[in-house]
Chain A
């Protein structure tokens, strides 16, 4: 995966802002990529070659409209931030207004976490911070200095899938796949929460422990992740499979 090469966040060449980002790439990590060259990598290489524009990240933004606010590092109030993502340290220079999601996708190059609504309503951007699922679009990257951030790229590899990734494939728990990285990160958080016997809005008596993770509990606990293709029954089945295996 192209993302593995980025260890500093200061990628020398920034793709030529070919917005809107199609995000149909197969590098999300949610399922193995059959090709050695990802769609995204191909587009980026092609644009850089044909356009001849390889803007350094620190330079003025060549296409501001195509890029989330503040992801150019040239702004006066940009500040150094060290983010620990998937076990690797990234030394970045970011404006405070850059969300964690934009830092992951646009600066570090980890494009597995998706931007759906960008307003905390769809869950496509779900990542794990200190093992807890959160919406990366509604938090600032600078607030997460020193914390352990895990994205879909950090959960499994093509030849060693996370059990939830394998279960999503087994259960056909996606169609277009856009929400899938968020669904899987969310489900990882869910299983951890359930193991700690947390209650949910459908738990009959919140004072009782243990909590039984039946389908209605899984549905409620996954309600922060929207799937436009409507793969919900299969998503519930995939989560149920892994939850059951753990018990």
Chain B
């Protein structure tokens, strides 16, 4: 790891001010940033320690929604009574990610900023990576691309977003609150993460120096009918090949509202809105589920090794939506 300077921010204002310095990066849980620094992928000159800022609270919002502070740890968020009872989908997503030790460290804000696990991004021995070195090319397109994107990729980058939390937040229509030198703004989760396009070096629409304050969840609609299904190479402690966050509002066996978000398939959590629309007003049966799964993967494109993901995602959607329909 390169030498780095270290400052502890006393409050949010000071943190934002410190972040304006060249080469500055915030550090919260550090589980992704330090890993990337050890590999030489991230090379900040200054670390601004925000871990002691008062941004870890989880509180109720007036309409029944919940505000999660950016520094709430993944384990604390997953197990907070408000989240477990009102947003079990989010609890499931959190608990399917990483290990207990990492969840005790990792924060909600850091999870939003988690970088891809594309081998070619992570290993600086590879010269080509447009995300790490803009303009250098994409080694994954012609390389081992079993874990890579099948939706929304570009010729410049086929990496995927590794987070489970993000997938649940996408299904729940969360809003990310941030503060920069120019003040505070709110970013809907759908606009927070980006597709690679021709700027794969960017993962999000967060501006340089902006600090994530937290995430707001809208009033809970899906506590009774939600399921997070993660498919991976081993039973625990692995990134998703494909994951599905399915959330339904049911009325006498008929779907009133549906949310489906996919993980492991794109550069951002992927909302399958066309597939959601197909379910509304209908009872869940096998034919409808198949139709829904097909619609969700319309436009999917496989590379040499990841064609299996298209079928896998369809089957995962079918199963996750069916289970969500059953839970009560």
Contacts and interface: CB of A to CB of B under 8 A. Distances in A.
Contacts of A224: 98-102, 237
A179 interface: no
Interface residues of A, number: 42
A107 interface: no
Given A135-B102, A139-B105, A186-B100, A198 B79 contact: yes
A119 B3 contact: no
Dominant SS among interface residues on chain A: loop
B100 A79 contact: no
**Taking each of A77, A79, A123, A198, which has the highest tally of chain B beta carbons within 10 Å of its own beta carbon?**
A198
Contacts of B327: 205
A189 to B, nearest CB: 7
A118 B237 CA distance: 16
B99 A223 contact: yes
B95 A132 contact: no
Contact of A135 (B51, B78, B105): B105
A97 to B, nearest CB: 5
A221 B5 contact: no
B129 to A, nearest CB: 19
Contacts, number: 117
Contacts of B230: 201
Interface string B20-37: 000000010111001101
B136 interface: no
A140 B105 CA distance: 12
Interface string B115-131: 00000000000000000
A138 B75 contact: no
Interface stretch (B85-93, B147-155, B282-290): B85-93
Nearest to B237: A223
Given A79-B6, A206-B95, A138 B31 contact: yes
B3 A77 contact: yes
Given A134-B105, A186-B100, A206-B92, A139 B34 contact: yes
Contact of B91 (A132, A143, A199): A199
B47 interface: yes
A142 B52 CA distance: 12
Contact of A138 (B30, B51, B85, B95): B30
